[in-house]
């Protein structure tokens, strides 16, 4: 996610906020594109989504109204939950 944010931001900033509950990455790039990116393989977000599903983490990816994109992973805080196999 961080690599995508840096690649999408030609000028401006990339902000990473980490807490016990989540990690949030915000960039000032062009935002999410619905079209195929010829410079990427399209696997990064699929891998993130798969990992989040396996660990039962929340995953949000949205365009920001002021430009850019926000990616948020919310960690499961229930310690009694089962671990992935």
Report the pLDDT value the prediction gives residue 81, as an integer from 0 to 100. Answer: 54
Q: Please tell me the pTM assigned to this model.
A: 0.77
- Segment 41-64, tens digit of pLDDT: 568 888 999 999 999 999 999 998
Condensed to tens digits (0 to 9), the pLDDT of residues 62-85 reads: 998 888 999 999 998 765 455 555
CATH code: domain 2-74 is 3.30.565.10
> Cα angle vertex 59, ends 57, 60, to 5°?
155
Distances (CA, A) of 66 to 26, 41, 45, 85: 11, 27, 22, 40
């Amino acid at each position: 996610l961080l690599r995508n944010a840096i690649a999408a931001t030609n000028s401006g900033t990339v902000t990473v906020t980490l807490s016990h509950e989540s990690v949030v990455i915000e960039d000032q790039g062009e935002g999410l594109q619905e079209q195929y990116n010829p410079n990427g393989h399209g696997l990064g977000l699929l891998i993130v989504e798969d990992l989040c599903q396996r660990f039962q983490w929340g995953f949000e990816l949205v365009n920001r109204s002021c430009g850019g994109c926000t990616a948020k992973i919310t960690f499961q805080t229930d310690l009694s939950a089962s671990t992935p196999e």
